[in-house]
Amino acid sequence: MNRPRLTLLGTQHEALVEYLEAHPDNHERGAIVLFRRLHISVEGLTDSDRYLAKEVIYFDATWINSSSPIHFDFKLAPLREVFRRCEEESLVFGFVHNHPQGKTTFSTKDDENELTLLTALKNRNGENITFVSMLWVNGGWEARIRTGTEQETAIPVRHTLVTSPPLQIFGYQDSSDEHSEVHARGAAAFGKPFVDKIKSLRVGIVGTGGTGSPLATLGARAGIGELVLIDDDELDRSNLNRVRGLGVKDVGDKKALKLKEYIDSIGLEAKVAACDAKIDEDPLALDALASCDVVFGCTDDFVGREVMNIALYAYAQTFIDLGLGGRILDDETGQPVLRYHFGRISTIMPEFGQCLFCQGVIRDVWVQTQLARRENPDITKKELKERYLEDGGEEAPGIGPFTSATADFALATLFDLIKPFRRYPLELRRDMFHVDFVKMELNSHQTKRDNECPYCEQHDFLLMKEQYRLRRPLLGKRDEYV
C-alpha cells in the first residue's frame, strides 16, 4: 500500500493550530490546505507519495452554515473556485478541521463530509484526483487520503511532518511495546516514540565516501526506516582509509551500489535504495532526492551542494550538510604538521537557518569553476583566471577518524531535531557549528546576513512551481498527476 507522507512548514502548522483552537465558544473550525503532490517511484522502496502544503485558506464566516463543539457544517458553492484552482494549478485539495470535544479520531460524520467534498471535487475535476483530510485532535495531527477512483477507501498517512526545529512528526505508526534488541538502547535513551519516528522517515544521503558511508551504516543501525544513497563515484584505493562497509574487492565499483549491498547484508529493518548518478545531471537521481523527508549532504561537490541548497526549499526538506576543512604546514624538519582540522555541520530548513551561500560554504564562482573543470578536466589556472573563475573551499586530507566523527555529529544532529537533548552554549549557532579536532572544541563563525538572498531571506525557491525539475530544462519535466 502507498502510505503517503504530509509535510507542513512550521509557520503553516502554527497558524492552523492557532486558528482551529481560537473559536470563542470552542466550536469546531475548518480550513483548506492546498498541497503539491510528489508522486515519485524509487527503485527498491515502496511507493510513498509526498504531499507538500503550499497554501492555507481559512473558511470565511459566510461559508459556514452552523457549528458547535461537535459539528461543523458549511456550503459547497464557495469552494468551487478552490476546486478550479486545484485543476488549473495541479494542486491537491485538503480539508482540515478539529474536534474540540467528542471523538478523538475521525468520526462517521467526518466520513460523510469527506465523501460529499470528494464527490463535488470529482464532479468538477474528474476522477483522477486525490483528497487529503486532516484532523487536529489531542494536540496532534491525524490524516488520511482518498482518491476519486476508490473514494470509499481512506488510506492513513505514514506521518505528518512539520519542518521546524524541533522536527514534529505526527501520526507515525506506533510499534509494539517491546522493541527489538537492536533498538532497545535508543528507546531507553530517547523514548519509544523516537524509535518509531525515525523509522517513519525517508532519509537521503548524497555522497557515500568518508562521511556518507559511516552516516549511512550507523543510520541504518539507529533505525532509520528508509535510506536513499546517491553517488556516481567509483571506489578508489585511496578511499579505503575512511569508507565504511567497502573493501579492496570493491575498488572500481560504484560506491552507492556497494554500500547498499553492505547495509542489506547486515540484516536490519532499513530499506535501502541506491542511485549511481549526479543529482544535477540525472532526473531520476533528483527525483529520488525529492522523495526524501531529510537529506544529508556528504559531498565536496559544489554543483551538487547548490542543487541541494535549492531542493531543501522547493521540496520542504530538512537539510544537514557536512564538510571538512584543515591546513597542513611543514615543521622545521620538513615533516607535515596538522595546524587545524575541523568538521562542519550545517542544519537548514525552509524557514530556519542561513543557506549554504550565506554560510560561505558555496559561492557562485566555485560552482562555475567546477562546471568548467567537468567540461575540460585539463583547464589551466591561467585559463580559469581569464574567465574570472577560481577554485574554492578548504582542502583537508580525508582522515578516517575525522570523517567518521563528523558523520557521528551529523547523525546526532538529526536525533536532536527529533528529540532535543543538546544544550547549546550561547556562542554556538544552531544552524552551523565546527568540531575542531586539533583544539578539541566546538565553535561557530559569524556570517553577514544578506537580506536579498533569494534562498533563505526572499524565499524565491520556497515550494516553487516547477515546469522543469528545479526550473532546469536539462533535468526535464516530472510526470506528475494529482
Residue-wise pLDDT for 337-349, tens only, equals 888 899 999 999 9
From 43, 41, 34, select the one nearest 8 (Cα to Cα): 34
Q: Which residues sit opposite 226 in a β-bridge? A: 202, 271
| Segment 323-343 mean pLDDT | 87
Q: Residues 209, 356: one domain?
A: yes
Give pLDDT, residue 459.
97
Q: Residues 195, 341: one domain?
A: yes
- Specify if 471 maps to a domain: no
Residue-wise pLDDT for 184-212, tens only, equals 889 899 999 999 999 999 999 999 999 99
| Segment 435-454 mean pLDDT | 94
Q: Residues 130, 153: one domain?
A: yes
Q: Residues 145, 206: one domain?
A: no
Do residues 23 and 64 touch, judged by C-beta distance below 8 A?
no
Give pLDDT, residue 334.
85
Q: Of residues 398 and 267, which shows the higher confidence score?
A: 267
Range of the domain at 67: 5-170
Number of domains in the chain: 2
- Specify if 109 maps to a domain: yes
- Specify if 26 maps to a domain: yes
| Segment 276-295 mean pLDDT | 97
Q: Residues 166, 238: one domain?
A: no
- Specify if 251 maps to a domain: yes
How far is residue 337's CA from residue 327's CA, in Å, rounded to a whole number? 9
DSSP codes of every residue in 117-139: HHHHHHHHH-SS-EEEEEEEETT
Give pLDDT, residue 178.
59
Give pLDDT, residue 329.
84
Give pLDDT, residue 179.
63
- Specify if 337 maps to a domain: yes
Give pLDDT, residue 398.
81
Residue-wise pLDDT for 30-71, tens only, equals 999 999 999 999 999 999 999 999 999 999 999 999 999 999
Q: Of residues 179 and 452, which shows the higher confidence score?
A: 452
Give pLDDT, residue 184.
86
Query: Which domain-ending residue is among 143, 170, 197?
Result: 170
Q: Residues 341, 289: one domain?
A: yes
Query: Which domain-ending residue is among 145, 170, 195?
Result: 170
User: Given a cut of 70, is residue 380 above it in pLDDT?
Assistant: yes
- Specify if 275 maps to a domain: yes
| Segment 243-253 mean pLDDT | 94
User: Given a cut of 60, is residue 162 above it in pLDDT?
Assistant: yes
How far is residue 10's CA from residue 316's CA, in Å, rounded to a whole number? 10
User: Given a cut of 50, is residue 481 above it in pLDDT?
Assistant: no
Q: What is the CATH number of the domain that holds 43?
A: 3.40.140.10
Do residues 97 and 23 touch, judged by C-beta distance below 8 A?
no
Q: Residues 228, 346: one domain?
A: yes
Give me 164's grid cell.
521546524
Q: Residues 153, 116: one domain?
A: yes
Query: Which domain-ending residue is among 170, 191, 219?
Result: 170
Q: Residues 66, 159: one domain?
A: yes
Q: Which region among 94-103, 125-134, 180-189, 218-227 has the lowest average model confidence (pLDDT)? A: 180-189
Q: What is the CATH number of the domain that holds 249?
A: 3.40.50.720
Q: Residues 304, 433: one domain?
A: yes
DSSP character at residue 68: E
| Segment 371-385 mean pLDDT | 86
- Specify if 110 maps to a domain: yes
What is the reported pTM?
A: 0.95
Q: In what order do the strands lie in the sheet with 202-206?
A: 271-275, 226-230, 202-206, 294-297, 318-330, 336-348, 432-436, 441-443
From 50, 33, 53, 34, select the one nearest 42 (Cα to Cα): 50
Confidence of residue 480 (pLDDT cuts 50, 70, 90): low
Helix H or strand E segment including 337: strand 336-348
| Segment 125-131 mean pLDDT | 95
Q: Of residues 223 and 177, which shows the higher confidence score?
A: 223
Cβ within 8 Å of residue 458, ≥6 positions away: 452
Mean pLDDT of the chain: 93
User: Given a cut of 80, is residue 102 above it in pLDDT?
Assistant: no
Q: Of residues 32 and 177, which shows the higher confidence score?
A: 32
Cα angle, residue 370 at apex, residues 366 and 376 outer, rounded to 5°: 140
- Specify if 176 maps to a domain: no
Q: Residues 352, 230: one domain?
A: yes
Residue-wise pLDDT for 251-276, tens only, equals 999 999 999 999 999 999 999 999 99
Q: Of residues 2 and 121, which shows the higher confidence score?
A: 121
Q: Residues 91, 227: one domain?
A: no
From 146, 168, 144, select the one nearest 158 (Cα to Cα): 144
Give pLDDT, residue 482.
33
How far is residue 322's CA from residue 360's CA, in Å, rounded to a whole number? 13
